[in-house]
Amino acid sequence: MRRLGLSASVCLVTACAHPVASAPTPADSSTDASAQPASAGPVPETVGRSKAELLRDTDFRVAFEDVRRLRVVLDFDEIKFGLLRVTLGPGFSSVSSARYNLERLYMTYRVASYRREDTLVELWRDGARIGQVTGGGVVIGAESGAKRP
């Protein structure tokens, strides 16, 4: 058996070592906050996510595709984080499972919104808010705080 001396061990360790990046200095322009990409930090709660971003969540996408296919909902916009505004379609009045599917959309949206307690889906038709969906279910009319159309 062959023994390696201390100098041979140091050479092996040195050869296997990876270079370590040095910490940037304060004068380094890459540490300037204005040089950071906009997506580096969390999204402010006053700004809604894009449709594409919300549709990346598989469960939300499937639930939205279901209500859109049934024409219960035609479109959606996230007004701010935790507040989804949906435009109701003709299926809302004619599809027997409309309320169930809206509640399912709410639950998937709530999960996509990190299970916030104040998550709300507003129901809009003809430019007016007619109701909402919360953890308590679908509420239409004055009980929801919406004006009657």
pLDDT digits (tens, 9 = 90+) for 60-114: 999 999 999 999 999 999 999 999 999 999 999 999 999 999 999 999 999 999 9
Q: What is the pLDDT of residue 27?
A: 44
Is 4 within the bounds of a domain? no
Task: Domain of residue 61: give its range.
Answer: 44-144
The mean per-residue pLDDT over the stretch 56-61 comes to 97
Q: 118-146: per-residue pLDDT in tens? A: 999 999 999 999 999 999 999 998 766 65
Token pair belonging to 120: 């709300």
Q: Nearest CA to 113 among 65, 10, 28, 43?
A: 43
Is 12 within the bounds of a domain? no
Token pair belonging to 123: 């129901």
Task: Give this prediction's pTM.
Answer: 0.67
Q: Nearest CA to 110 among 59, 44, 39?
A: 59
- pLDDT of 54 above 90: yes
Is 69 within the bounds of a domain? yes
Is 61 within the bounds of a domain? yes
d(CA 126, CA 75): 13
Phi, psi of 144 (to 5 degrees): -90, -5
d(CA 122, CA 88): 10
Instruction: Provide the strand spans (E) within the chain.
Output: 73-80, 83-88, 120-125, 128-134, 137-140
Is 48 within the bounds of a domain? yes
Is 31 within the bounds of a domain? no
Number of domains in the chain: 1
* Amino acid at the residue 107: M
Q: 18-53: per-residue pLDDT in tens? A: 444 444 444 444 444 434 333 344 445 678 999 999
